[in-house]
C-alpha cells in the first residue's frame, strides 16, 4: 500500500498509526523554539504540515553512497536508523532497505518506516559566518546561543577570541590535543544533532541540544571551521557533584 496514493486525511491517519506521521508531542518540544521573523522556517513535529505527509514513494535498490551524495547535494545530513517508525529528525527523504528498497519524500520529522536511513534537510543558507553564529542571540525557549556556554566572559564583556571546551572528569584532553581523533565532520554533526551518551559507569549525560532546525549545513560547517582554526581554546572540566 502506498500512503501517497490515498486521500490526504486518510494518509495522515494511517501514517500516525504506522509511526509514519508528523505527530505533535503531548507537550511542546523544548528543542523546537517559537519561530521569529529572523529565523528560517523548517517543518517540525510541532508545526505539522497540513497537506500530504508522504509526497512520493519510489521502489528500487539504492546504495549508501548514492543516497549520501543526494543528501549532501540538498544540504542535509544522513541519519542511520536501527529501529522502526518515526525516529528521523526533520523533513527530507527516507530510504527503507527492503527488497526492493523504498525511497519516500516527506514533509516532516518522525516519518521513516523501518531500518534504513533518512536525509535530514537543514534550513537554507543565510550566509552567516562562523563568528556571526557564535555571537548570535537566540530565543530563550530553544537551544541556547553558542556564547551562553562557550564564550569566555570577563565580567560583562564576552571575549570573542576564546572558545571554551567542556571535558568529562578524567579526560586527558587539553588545549594542545583537544582535536585528536575528532574530524570537522564529526564536530559538525554534534552541532546539528546535539551531544548525549553514557559514562563508563552507565550514567547518562546530555551535553548540547540540536541546531539542525536553526542553521544551514554550510553555516554549521563554517562555525566548526572557525572554532578549529580561528580561536583560542580554553579547556573546562565538567563539575560532577559528590
Q: What is the pLDDT of residues 217-228, one digit of tens each?
A: 999 999 999 999
- Taking only the tens place, the pLDDT of each residue in 9-46 is 334 333 433 444 454 433 333 333 343 444 444 444 33
Integer Cα distance of 105 and 54 in angstroms:
6
- Give pLDDT, residue 240: 59
Phi and psi at residue 56, in whole multiples of 5°? -160, 155
C-alpha 115/C-alpha 84 separation (Å) is: 6
pLDDT digits (tens, 9 = 90+) for 155-187: 677 788 899 988 877 788 889 899 888 899 999
Give 80-96 pLDDT, tens digit per residue.
Answer: 887 776 788 888 999 98
pLDDT at 22: 54
Question: Is the pTM higher than 0.95?
Answer: no
Comparing C-alpha atoms, which of 61, 23, 43, 39 is closest to residue 106? 43
Amino acid at each position: 500500500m502506498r500512503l501517497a496514493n490515498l486521500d490526504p486525511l486518510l494518509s495522515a491517519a494511517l501514517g500516525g498509526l504506522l509511526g509514519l506521521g508528523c505527530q505533535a508531542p503531548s507537550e511542546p518540544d523544548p528543542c523546537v523554539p517559537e519561530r521569529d521573523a529572523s529565523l528560517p522556517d523548517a517543518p517540525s513535529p510541532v508545526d505539522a504540515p497540513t497537506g500530504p505527509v508522504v509526497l512520493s514513494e519510489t521502489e528500487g535498490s539504492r546504495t549508501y553512497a548514492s543516497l549520501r551524495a543526494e543528501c549532501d547535494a540538498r544540504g542535509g545530513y544522513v541519519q542511520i536508523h536501527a529501529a522502526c517508525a518515526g525516529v528521523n529528525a526533520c523533513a527530507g527523504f527516507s530510504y527503507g532497505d527492503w527488497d526492493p528498497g523504498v525511497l519516500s519524500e516527506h514533509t516532516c520529522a518522525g516519518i521513516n518506516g523501518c531500518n534504513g536511513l533518512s536525509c535530514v534537510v537543514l534550513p537554507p543558507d543565510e550566509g552567516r559566518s562562523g563568528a556571526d553564529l557564535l555571537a548570535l542571540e537566540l530565543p530563550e525557549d530553544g537551544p541556547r546561543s553558542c556564547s551562553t556556554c562557550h564564550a569566555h566572559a570577563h565580567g560583562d564583556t564576552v571575549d570573542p577570541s576564546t572558545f571554551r571546551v567542556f571535558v568529562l572528569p578524567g579526560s586527558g584532553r587539553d588545549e594542545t590535543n583537544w582535536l585528536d581523533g575528532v574530524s570537522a565532520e564529526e564536530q559538525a554533526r554534534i552541532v546539528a544533532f546535539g551531544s548525549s551518551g553514557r559514562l563508563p559507569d552507565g550514567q547518562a549525560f546530555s551535553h548540547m541540544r540540536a541546531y539542525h532546525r536553526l542553521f544551514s549545513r554550510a553555516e554549521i560547517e563554517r562555525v566548526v571551521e572557525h572554532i578549529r582554526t580561528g580561536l583560542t581554546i580554553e579547556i573546562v572540566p565538567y563539575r560532577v557533584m559528590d
